[in-house]
Amino acid sequence: MPDATGLELIAGEIRDSAPGAVISTKHDRGRAEIEITPESVHPVVAMLKERGYTFLASLHGLDYWPDEPRLGVIYELLDMKTVDRISVKTRVTVENPTVASVIDLWSGADHPEREVFDMFGVVFEGHPDLRRILMPEDYEGHPQRRDFPVGGEEVIFTYNEKTMPGWTE
Amino acid sequence: MAVTEGPDAFRASQMRARDMLRGDLEGEELEKYVQERIITTTLDKAVSWARGNAMFPATFGLACCAIEMMSIVGGRVDVARFGFEAFRASPRQADLLILSGRVSIKMAPVVRRIYDQMLEPKWTIAMGACCSSQGIFNNYAIVPADKFMPVDVHVPGCPPRPEALVHGILTLRDKIQGDPTLGWRSRYGAEGTEEVLPLHSSADSVNVFGAPRPGLGEAPIA
C-alpha cells in the first residue's frame, strides 16, 4: 500500500496531468483509495499503469442506492514489484452510465466489464463486444441494482396453481 | 390339503412339483397343479410393474443436491436394490430425470431440452428446495421446475438426505405401479413431449444449435 503521503503524491501527480480529475482520496485501514471523475478513468488508469501498477486485480461494480450518483466502478490495481495496491473508484449516474473501457490496457478486463454491464448496466465505451455474460441475452433489467426486486419467480403450490402460470402456459 | 401356509404347505407343494416333473401327475391333478401356478394379470399391470422396478435415471447433476444423488448408488442406501442403479449418460436411454439442485433461468431451456430428448414413458423428480420452491437461492436467477416442465415427485430438503430421495423414488414407483395408464400425467397434459428430429432433413434443419440466435453480435442492450 502506498502510505497516506504516497497516496497524496500520486493524487498530486494525477491533478497535474488531468486537472479536476481527482474528487477525493482516502487512506483507511491500510487501503489507499482514490476517487476520480468517470471521464478521466482511462487517462488516470493508464498513468497508474505507467507508474508501475501493471496488474488489474479486479474490476467490479457497486450500487450506492439511494446515494447519487448511484453506480460505482472500482478498479483494484496492483504493483507487482513492490506489492503495492491502490483502488481507483468512479461513480456514474443511472441516467448516463458510461465509462471508458480499459480493455486496451488490460485485455483481461473483457469479462469483468461485461459482468459489470450485465449486473449493473454500466456501459463501457470502447469495449468491442459488450453483451451479457451471465444472464440470458434476452433478459431485461440489471439484477444487481439495488432497486431490482429481490425475489424471483413466484412458487406454484396447490392452492395457487390455477392462477399461477405454470409450464403448460 | 388342510395346510395352506407355512413350511408344511411349502414342502407339500415342492413334493407335488417333483411329481409333476417326473410325469406322475395326470388328469384332474395336473389341471389343479397348473391352475395353482398361474397368475393372471393384465398386460398394463405387468408392464407398469416392470417399468416401476427398472427406472434408469439420467446422469445429470445441477448443484449440491447432486452430491446426495450420487450417494444413493453407494453401499449405504444402495438404490440398486430397487432397480435404479443404471445412471444413463444419454437422455435417449434414460426415463427418469432427477433435477438435483437449482435451475437458473439460463439453464432452464437446457433442462427442458434434455427432458424433451427423453423417450416416453419418462418421469421427473424435483429434488431439494431450489427446484421445487426456490429455497435459499430465491433470487433473479433461479426458476422453479414447475414453471417449465412437468414434475411427478417433489422431494423436500436442503439438500434432502439420500434416504429422502430413495423415498421419493419409491413413491414414484408406487405411482407408476398403482396407475398403469399413467393417468396422473395425462391429467395435466405431460405426455407426448418427446423431441423427434426430422427424418429427412438437410444439413441446415438438423443443425439445431448452429441456427443464428438473436442477440449475438448485435448492439448491446443499454
Cα(A33)–Cα(A26) distance, integer angstroms:
5
**Cβ atoms of A44 and A14 closer than 8 Å:** yes
Residue B132: predicted pLDDT: 86
Of the partner residues B147, B217, B221, the one whose CB lies closest to the CB of residue A166: B147
Closest chain A CA to residue B107: A136
Residue B144: predicted pLDDT: 86
Q: Is the CB of B216 less than 8 angstroms away from the CB of A137?
A: yes
- Is a pLDDT exceeding 50 seen at residue B212? no
Mean pLDDT, rounded, for B133-151 = 84
**Cβ atoms of B194 and B119 closer than 8 Å:** yes
Chain-centroid distance of CA B84 in Å reads: 8
Residue B114 or residue B3, greater confidence: B114
- Is a pLDDT exceeding 70 seen at residue B1? no
Compute the nearest-CA separation of B153 from chain A (Å).
Answer: 13
Of the partner residues B132, B138, B221, the one whose CB lies closest to the CB of residue A151: B138
Of the partner residues B149, B189, B220, the one whose CB lies closest to the CB of residue A130: B220
Give the predicted TM-score (pTM) of the model.
0.73
Residue B202: predicted pLDDT: 47
Residue B220 or residue A94, greater confidence: A94
Residue B213: predicted pLDDT: 44
Chain A residues in contact with B192 (beta carbon < 8 A): none
Mean pLDDT, rounded, for B116-145 = 86
Chain B residues in contact with A123 (beta carbon < 8 A): 220, 222
CA distances from B144 to A71, B61, B158 (A): 31, 16, 15
Residue B117 cell numbers, joined: 430428448
Q: For residue range A15-74, what is the model confidence (pLDDT) as tens digits?
A: 988 888 899 999 988 889 999 999 999 999 999 999 899 999 999 999 998 888 999 999
Residue A124 or residue B46, greater confidence: A124
Chain A residues in contact with B139 (beta carbon < 8 A): 143, 150-152
Q: For residue range A72-114, what is the model confidence (pLDDT) as tens digits?
A: 999 999 999 988 899 999 999 999 999 999 999 999 999 999 9
Closest chain A CA to residue B106: A136
Q: Which long-range contacts (CB under 8 A, 24 or more apart) does B118-121 make?
A: B118/B58, B118/B91, B118/B92, B118/B94, B118/B194, B119/B92, B119/B95, B119/B194, B120/B191, B120/B192, B120/B194, B121/B51, B121/B95, B121/B182
Residue B145: predicted pLDDT: 86
Residue A20 cell numbers, joined: 479536476
